[in-house]
Amino acid sequence: MKKVDAGGGWPAIRYTLRKAREVGGWWKLWKAMRSRNACKTCALGMGGQRGGMVNESGRFPEVCKKSLQAMAADMQGAIPDSFWNTYTIEQLRKFTPQQLETCGRLVTPLRIRCGETNYRPISWEEALGAIADKLRQTEPDRTFWYFSGRSSNEAGFLLQLFARLYGTNNVNNCSYYCHQASGVGLSSAIGSGTATVVLEDLEHADCVFLIGGNPASNHPRLMTSLMHLRRRGGEVIVINPVIETGLVKFRIPSSVRSLLFGTKIATTYVQVDIGGDLALLTGVAKRIVEMGAQDKEFLQNHCEGVEPWLQSLAHTSWDEITAKSGCTRQDIDAVAEKYASAKRVVFSWTMGITHHVHGVENVQAIANLALLRGMVGRPHAGLMPIRGHSNVQGVGSVGVTPQLKQAIFERLESHFKISLPTTPGLDTLGCMEAAERRELKVGFCLGGNLFGSNPDADFADHALQQLELLVGMNTTLNTGHAHGLAEDTIVLPVLARDEEPQMTTQESMFNFVRLSDGGPARHTGPRSEVEVIADLAARVQPSGPAHGPFDWSDMRDTGAIRQAIARVVPGFEQIERIAETKQEFQIAGRTFHEPRFATASERARIHTHTLPELRGGDRQLRMMTVRSEGQFNTVVYEEEDLYRGIDRRNVILIHPDDFERLGVAPDQTVTVRSETGELPGIIATPFEAIKPGNALMYFPEANVLVPRRADRQSRTPAYKNILVTVE
């Protein structure tokens, strides 16, 4: 397949036209896209009260292929009841993720028990009754509650509150497979776990670091900001083992000039080895100090831990840094020089940084480098983890974490006169491992695809099968409905956010709370997430003094839930009246435009690290598992990877220079092996754009190869650094 010369542009526009036809015309799609609801895909924060396709600076039209895909998926017809009779579970297992997704919308509760061959449509009464019965008979700590990041703040808050009052802290969200390392790393550095900047800051920066991410395909609307930065003469420094086409050149559909000629994005592109970022970032810091370009006054007045770090920089040799990063002195010097001459620098990163056993240290190293020149705690500069799911940050903010933040815990207890469990609670991988040991009996998933997103797919399949009951609240079918079925599996069909009968809220990665109006339901059958949760809670914990303070049926009202959120979640006070005021707002205490941080001393903390060795022996490759432009997580829309010029997914992409060493021929069919599993029938595909010694495969197909190695501090699995051999 021919590689395109730039990201975005005409293919994206053609795609839009095709999707419009599929869902029944332009006007229908346009109306859906313009409705006042927060965008459903990434967390960049489009839509909300300013109307669809408007960004947080008010710019319009901001649209990407992903948001159209997600919208078109929700606009599909219903899966007819006859489908469940026609297709057995064995047949569903053979469906590709795309086939599953395009079966249509789930509109009836479904149930399948061990030994049965087909899902059976059941009534809501049977579904909720069975779940409530099982929960009442189960010890709370033998259940777990997993949340994906698509649901509203209201649904997230309500379900975690119910789980805790029911009696467990086994509450977690997909962030544990995503940006958890960012949250932990940032909190350890500045006392707050989210971006320190707003979109406006980015619009004034003169240099942006883009580390370990591919926003051209995963956060396309960020590309508009980068285009503006380039037009202002700013610098974009990309650190990535792969030269990603769209980071070199991108055609922004809403700009005629960019669409016709393409906009150059990266001004410096450094190909680090997989896992080499910690060494590279340390090297850049060392060079900055050698150049005397650090901000001494800032370090002295606003940071702690500076001295030991400076000493360790001095003691770390250049040989160690170059060997452990895979980068040359020239690369490192070039980055340091650009950084030293910039005045307003934003550091952004994604999964290439967090999906490592030293993910938290990677994030701390980014914070260190930013602090070294005083780039945190001032306008137009700072730290910006680019979030994944559209509301993953929001569900985390409102309490979907095993341990509640101290303030939320205390306020919940005092405000509602309740006592909450104090056990540590399990993270996502911890829940899966406990399920496999048969320590857990019930799993409850608010959205997502827990099977498909897990490392070690065979393990995940087996672990979920050990459960006595698995419940999923979903909009469409995914591989998790065909694999990893428990003794009893129940699927509950829910409304998408633009079909909700009531308003809901979401939080963008810039800490901005958005209001979604909801809209008319497209199908009869699916129910609102909040309503389902409130109903279930009422069945398990009937109201009355003996059962605690909540009349759960009152909590069907999203306004009542927002009132509770406003009282217990610091920074969310304004959410209480948001339905009347329509005032979307910035969460207080998270954006740092002054060098006063959220730590006890109000100083930022510098961390000192030892540099990990690059992994891999002579016959091995370091392999990353990543997304293509045509998928959204476990949902694969298109087989081809347009930007990388690859037309199939059963491939391992290897640099041409590596073939001889590995003893395989280009385009040969191979078996890829890791310590965890093997995948036969994979085509060893030459790929110039990747750094030699490294390889690329697609998530989720490659998950059978991903070991359950996770970062000790954040528990984020190392999805990006897997040692493999090819035979």
Binding site for Mo ion (CB under 5 A): 178, 388
631 - beta bridge partners?
A: 636
Which does residue 402 bind out of ligand MGD, Mo ion, none, counting CB within 5 to 8 angstroms by kind?
none
The reply on whether position 182 binds ligand MGD by CB under 6 A is no
Q: By CB under 6 A, which span of 492-500, 587-595, 604-612, 669-677 interacts with ligand MGD? A: 492-500
Question: Closer CB to ligand MGD, residue 373 or residue 720?
Answer: 720
The reply on whether position 624 binds ligand MGD by CB under 6 A is yes
Distances (CA, A) of 142 to 145, 161, 163: 10, 17, 12
User: From the CB of 463, what's the least distance to Mo ion, in Å?
Assistant: 20
Q: Binder to ligand MGD among 170, 453, 506, 608 (CB under 6 A)? A: 453
The reply on whether position 7 binds ligand MGD by CB under 6 A is no
DSSP assigned state of 557: S
- Distance between the two ends of the chain, CA-based, in angstroms? 25
The reply on whether position 523 binds ligand MGD by CB under 6 A is no
Residue with tokens 């650009």: 338
User: From the CB of 139, what's the least distance to ligand MGD, in Å?
Assistant: 26
| Secondary element (H or E) of residue 339 | helix 329-341
Which does residue 75 bind out of Mo ion, ligand MGD, none, counting CB within 5 to 8 angstroms by kind?
none
Question: Closer CB to ligand MGD, residue 345 or residue 568?
Answer: 345
Which does residue 156 bind out of Mo ion, ligand MGD, none, counting CB within 5 to 8 angstroms by kind?
none
User: From the CB of 350, what's the least distance to Mo ion, in Å?
Assistant: 8
- Please give the Cα distance from 618 to 666 (Å, whole number): 18
Which does residue 211 bind out of Mo ion, ligand MGD, none, counting CB within 5 to 8 angstroms by kind?
ligand MGD
User: Dihedral, CA atoms, 395, 401, 403, 404, nearest 10 degrees?
Assistant: 0
Composition of the chain by helix, strand, coil, percent to 5 = 40, 20, 40
Question: Closer CB to Mo ion, residue 555 or residue 624?
Answer: 624
In sequence order, what E strands does 212-327 have? 235-239, 249-251, 263-264, 268-270, 303-304
The reply on whether position 505 binds ligand MGD by CB under 6 A is no
Tokens of 553: 């049926």
Q: Is the peptide bond before 308 cis (omega within 30 degrees of 0)?
A: no
Which does residue 716 bind out of Mo ion, ligand MGD, none, counting CB within 5 to 8 angstroms by kind?
none
Binding mask 350-389 for ligand MGD (x = CB under 6 A): xxx--x--------------------------------xx
- Please give the Cα distance from 86 to 107 (Å, whole number): 17
The reply on whether position 238 binds ligand MGD by CB under 6 A is no
What's the sign of the alpha-carbon dihedral 412, 417, 422, 425? negative
Tokens of 680: 């036969």
Q: By CB under 6 A, which span of 128-136, 144-152, 335-343, 545-553 interacts with ligand MGD? A: 144-152
- What's the CA angle centered on 443, arms 442 and 444, to 5 degrees? 120
> 28-32 contacts: CB < 8 A, separation 24 or more?
28/75, 29/68, 29/71, 29/72, 29/75, 32/71, 32/75, 32/498
Q: Binder to ligand MGD among 23, 75, 92, 211 (CB under 6 A)? A: 211
Binding mask 51-80 for ligand MGD (x = CB under 6 A): ---------------x--------------
Q: Are 607 and 309 in contact (CB under 8 A)?
A: yes
- Please give the Cα distance from 685 to 697 (Å, whole number): 10
Tokens of 26: 């332009």
Q: Binder to ligand MGD among 6, 197, 272, 357 (CB under 6 A)? A: 272
Q: Binder to ligand MGD among 170, 192, 196, 449 (CB under 6 A)? A: 449
SS3 49: helix
Q: Are 390 and 47 in contact (CB under 8 A)?
A: no
| Secondary element (H or E) of residue 445 | strand 442-446
- Shortest-Cβ-distance residue relative to Mo ion: 388
Question: Closer CB to ligand MGD, residue 355 or residue 380?
Answer: 355
- Please give the Cα distance from 545 to 513 (Å, whole number): 34
SS3 47: strand
Using CB under 6 A, count the residues that bind ligand MGD. 62
Q: By CB under 6 A, which span of 172-180, 308-316, 550-558, 659-667 interacts with ligand MGD? A: 172-180
Q: Are 220 and 64 in contact (CB under 8 A)?
A: yes
Binding mask 686-715 for ligand MGD (x = CB under 6 A): -------------xx--x--x---------
Which does residue 7 bind out of ligand MGD, Mo ion, none, counting CB within 5 to 8 angstroms by kind?
none
Question: Closer CB to ligand MGD, residue 267 or residue 423?
Answer: 267
Residue with tokens 């795609």: 15
- Please give the Cα distance from 698 to 628 (Å, whole number): 7
Question: Closer CB to ligand MGD, residue 487 or residue 638?
Answer: 638
User: From the CB of 693, what's the least distance to Mo ion, in Å?
Assistant: 26
Question: Closer CB to Mo ion, residue 178 or residue 400?
Answer: 178
Q: Collect all residues with Cβ–Cβ distance below 8 Å to 7 and sequence separation of at least 6.
A: 216, 217, 220, 223, 244, 245, 246, 247, 249, 250, 251, 629, 643
Q: Binder to ligand MGD among 92, 460, 538, 626 (CB under 6 A)? A: 626
Question: Closer CB to Mo ion, residue 110 or residue 178?
Answer: 178
Footprint of ligand MGD (CB under 6 A): 42, 66, 148, 150-151, 174, 177-178, 211-214, 217-219, 239-242, 244, 272, 274-275, 277, 350-352, 355, 388-389, 446-450, 452-453, 473-476, 478, 494, 496-497, 529, 624-627, 629, 631-635, 699-700, 703, 706, 719-720
